[in-house]
Amino acid sequence: MSYDPRKKPRHLILVLGDQLNSDSSAFDGFNAADDAVWMAEIPEESIYVWSHKARITLFLSAMRHFRDALRRKGMTVHYSQLDGPENRETFSLALKAAIASLNPQRLILAEPGEWRVKQALVEAAKTKGLPIEMRSDRHFFSTGQTFSEYAGERKQLRMEFFYRKMRRKTGILMDGDGPLGGKWNYDAENRQPFGKEGPGRVSPPRSFRPDKTTREVKKLVEKRFSGHPGSLAHFDWPVTPRQASQALSDFVENRLPAFGLYQDAMWAGSPYLFHSRLSSSLNLKLIDPRKVLAAAERAHEEGRAPLNAAEGFVRQILGWREYVRGIYWHFMPEYGDLNRLDAQAPLPRFYWTGETDMLCLRETIGQTLSYGYAHHIQRLMVTGLFALLLGVKPQEVHKWYLAVYVDAVEWVELPNTLGMSQFADGGIMASKPYVATGKYIQRMSNYCTACPYDPSQAVSKAACPFTTLYWDFLMRHQTFLRKNPRMGLQFRNLDRLSRERQQAIRAQAKGLQEKMS
Ligand code: FAD
Ligand code: SF4
């Protein structure tokens, strides 16, 4: 028997834009005759940070595909389209309107991925006097409780120990009680540059041509968000579970084997290299991380991928992805306001245009605006590093990262930006700030070869701004950072610079900071 839409639903199942998995706990006990689903395209979600057009398109297209798939299964879905007459600006208004018109007995959803959204939904339900049941999100391997237990046991949190705990818990890449191959971590084998000849021919990731639904959304986004950053010209992201699975198979077969060695390498004009491009599918829950890790583990077992590649990839998903989620929920809402280094500079305008003569930034930002994508080291050691060295306010940096990447959802973006990249949490997430001169970028990419600046110079017209700002950063923050035992070598090198040289660097850095403010 199917649900009569005029009838008051027993349970109204709320599905948010990053909860597009039909095996979600929210659907446990779902009865098509009594229950209904509610989904809404919320204008505020596209504008509360100045979202890239590809990010908005991906969310809306994937949501509409999911709605259609649920309806094909016989479920009643009350869906509010951005361009529909009943659309409301915010989650709170939209949910209150839905409660008023549908009059359900109970609201059910899987835990939202964002603190702000969770508060808005709880508040809306409370105002309407309706019970709201938030169920644990079993997409993830760990729960908030797993993380809090781990965090409660130690003074200092480190991803590596959490990761080992997760390997033991899941049995992934384990040999009895120990790690497969005898080592937990092959990080040291994950940092090779390409050398002068570059990456050679890399099989391009599988591309998904926009279907009718995606084309309609693209049109809507171009019209409604015409002033937003980014382009839709190259939009080819997976928008359904089937496409996400195809993207996984393509990655495992064609790029996983070299993923390990070249995880940190960068090359102009090659945005994806050996990376998986799976983050947006994972974060929207189009694909289960268990399936992703099983595919990588199987590839290793069958001799199709070396252990350094399989382990390097597993570490990102079972380690980092779970760890940052734990950090987010353990420390929110205070976490979002942290600014331990008291950085106050504005974000340079070129972050929104890519118009700068610094080639590494022009490449990374240009690619970000074209595709909504940059790989981890581009985010951490190019755009993130520059903002950190310049002293940009971390909350501004956070808004940029949340806006410009197709995979950006706050629970993963915020700890990566505020903690790992900007050290705004003072060391909760990372044991020391990720800082380096332009020489790091020179070693890991070919960007510097065509750049007007020289990474080995800190004071001159041709000095690389990264190098100048690196030394200035150490001088600015030495009272706090000299206490950090992991930064001893960096400060010993600083101490080797003469007083005159230090003064010249400070003057050059001041000029850069003024130019960019
Ligand atoms: P791969 O390189 O192929 O890695 C495989 C998977 O591992 C990714 O799909 C992702 O799910 C996971 N992963 C890798 N690194 C991390 C990490 N540090 N934290 C969590 N998961 C990780 N990732 C997001 O998914 N959303 C974000 O909004 C986001 N913001 C970031 C902001 C900054 C400042 C930094 C430094 C990193 C950020 N990351 C974010 C992590 C990482 O950069 C992306 O997950 C990765 O680049 C996505 O590309 P990929 O799918 O090709 O990844
Ligand atoms: Fe970037 Fe400096 Fe290299 Fe230029 S020289 S590409 S600014 S690191």
Report the separation in Å between the CA atom of 478 and the middle of ligand 1, taken as the mean of its atom positions.
30
Indicate the burial class of 188 (C-beta count within 10 angstroms; 0-12, 13-18, 19 or more): exposed
Query: Which ligand is nearest the CA of 386, by number?
Result: 2
| CB of 280 sitting under 6 A from ligand 1 | no
Is 300's C-beta closer than 6 angstroms to any atom of ligand 1?
no
pLDDT of residue 141: 96
User: Dihedrals φ, ψ of 186, to 5°?
Assistant: -110, 30
Give 276-313 pLDDT, tens digit per residue.
999 999 999 999 999 999 999 999 999 999 999 999 99
Tens of pLDDT, residues 120-150: 999 999 998 999 999 999 999 998 888 888 8
Residue 4 has pLDDT above 70, yes or no: no
315 has pLDDT over 60: yes
**Residue 148, pLDDT score:** 86
pLDDT at 471 over 70: yes
Q: What is the mean pLDDT of residues 444-449?
A: 98
Q: Is 375 in the pocket of ligand 1 (CB under 6 A)?
A: yes
- Which amino acid, 409? V
Q: How confident is the model at residue 2 (pLDDT cuts 50, 70, 90)?
A: low
Maximum pairwise Cα distance, the chain? 83
Q: Which residues contact 352 (CB under 8 A, 6 or more apart)?
A: 50, 229, 400
Q: Whose CA is nearest to atom 8 of ligand 2?
A: 438
- Residue 236, pLDDT above cutoff 90: yes
C-beta of 317 in contact with ligand 1 (< 6 A)? yes
**For the chain, percent helix, then strand, then coil, each to nearest 5?**
50, 5, 40
Q: How far is the CA of 376 from the centre of ligand 1 (A)?
A: 6
**Contacting residues for 144 by C-beta, under 8 A, at least 6 apart:** 326, 329, 330
Residue 277 Cβ contacting ligand 1 at under 6 Å: yes
Half-sphere exposure of 352 (CA within 13 A, CB side): 15
Q: What is the reported pLDDT for 147?
A: 87
Distance from the alpha carbon of residue 430 to the mean position of ligand 1, in angstroms = 16
Q: Which residues contact 461 (CB under 8 A, 6 or more apart)?
A: none
| Tokens coding 396 | 């501004």
Mean pLDDT of 238-262: 97
Work out the average pLDDT over 453-458: 98
CA of 371 to the centre of ligand 2 (A): 22
Q: What is the pLDDT of residue 156?
A: 77
Q: Is the pLDDT of residue 6 over 70?
A: no
| 3-state per-residue secondary structure call for 462-502 | CECHHHHHHHHHHHHCHHHHCCCHHHHHHHHHHHCCCHHHH
Is the pLDDT at 33 greater than 60, yes or no? yes
Query: For residue 3, what pLDDT is reported?
Result: 60
Q: For a pocket test of ligand 2, which of 356, 442, 445, 471 has the largest count of ligand atoms closer than 8 A to its C-beta?
A: 442
- Mean pLDDT, residues 76-85: 92
pLDDT band, very low/low/confident/very high, at 1 (cuts 50, 70, 90): low
- Ligand 1 nearest-atom number relative to CA 275: 3
Judge whether residue 170 has pLDDT over 80.
yes
Q: What percent of the chain lies above the pLDDT cut of 70? A: 99
The pocket around ligand 2, CB under 6 angstroms, is made up of 358-360, 438, 441-442, 447-448, 451, 453, 455, 464-466
Closest atom of ligand 1 to CA, residue 282: 11
In 3D space, the residue among 140, 133, 109, 82 whose CA is nearest the CA of residue 25 turns out to be 109
Is residue 420 lining ligand 1, measured as CB closer than 6 Å? yes
Closest-lying ligand 2 atom to the alpha carbon of residue 358:
7
Q: How confident is the model at residue 41, as a pLDDT?
A: 97
CB 391 within 8 A of CB 433: no
In tens, the pLDDT along 340-396 reads: 999 999 999 999 999 999 999 999 999 999 999 999 999 999 999 999 999 999 999
The burial of 130, by beta-carbon neighbours within 10 Å (0-12 exposed, 13-18 middle, 19 or more buried), is given as: middle
Q: Tell me the pLDDT of the chain averaged across its residues.
A: 95
Alpha helices in 393-454 (DSSP H): 394-404, 410-414, 438-444
Mean pLDDT of 425-452: 96
* pLDDT over 90 at 266, yes or no: yes
Band of the pLDDT at 423, cuts 50, 70, 90?
very high
What mean pLDDT is predicted for residues 419-427?
A: 96
pLDDT over 90 at 8, yes or no: no
Whole-model pTM?
A: 0.96
